[in-house]
Amino acid sequence: MLLAIEQGNTNTMFAVHDGKEWIAEWRSATESTRTADEYAVWLLQLLELEGLSLKDLTGCIISSVVPQSMFNLRNLSRRYLKVEPMVVGENVDLGIEVTIAKPNEAGADRLVNAIGGFAAYGGPLIIIDSGTATTFDVVSATGAFEGGVIAPGINLSMQALHTAAAKLPRVAIQRPATNKVIGRDTVEAMQSGVYFGYVALIEGLIERIKREYVKPMTVVATGGVASLFVGATRAIDKFDSDLTIRGMLEIWRRNTPPKSK
């Protein structure tokens, strides 16, 4: 079985694939100081709830945008799974062309999404990933990563409002209950500004990207808060919460020799 570890700035996902399908997924808050032993204790308990053990995991692939965590994630794989992990951006062949000016600056998460999106939907694509940052990445008709846009994430925007303005409270990020843009109190006004502001951001950037790219494009959204925008805009064609782990599985398969019969 394959253990896929996808680490963002806010959350870290652990997922198990049995060769046919994903059978378990868990998320934890990203903490760069968490040790391999702490990861192992946490993971062991969750595996046991699914009737699994660490011995069932025979492979590991890691995609992380937090360099400080890589030492401990590698040690988790080496010490407890007894395997050398594949690390996106280090010891694996992604199998795609990266055509931006400085290919080494492309984040592992963005490249994995490009691979997962192209495997599922072909191209050209705009892939929107809503997390700590909101990224809009362009994938060509041949699967090449062609660059994109990086904007502050919706959580950062709400946090900035609360932190920088003394009288503005901390509120939940959600669509206003009234479903109206004009808020009748401070909380509604803040929720409306952030929520519908991001809908407008998404629609505006998609329109500009498509105009610049010229060719027809499919728009796919993924990431922790992407589900907030389901039904809020027609600019997004697909919502796919499994896009990233699909990309990691594709990378694993491209870099794993077929077993001899």
Both tokens of 58, joined, read: 């025979």
Helix-, strand-, coil-residue percentages of the chain, each rounded to 5: 40, 20, 40
Active site residue 109: yes
Active-site residue (options: 56, 109, 137, 237): 109
Distances 50 to 28, 74, 159, 161, 249 between C-alpha atoms, Å: 17, 24, 36, 41, 21
CB 118 within 8 A of CB 143: yes
Question: If we measure between CA atoms, which residue out of 154, 147, 145 comes closest to residue 201?
Answer: 154
Asked whether the beta carbons of 220 and 243 are under 8 A apart, the reply is yes
Q: How far apart are CA 111 and CA 97, in angstroms?
A: 10
Cα–chain center distance at 113: 7
DSSP readout, 193-231? HHHHHHHHHHHHHHHHHHHHH-S--EEEEESTTGGGGTT
What is the distance between the alpha carbons of residues 21 and 225, in angstroms, rounded to a whole number? 24
Query: Catalytic residues, which ones?
Result: 109
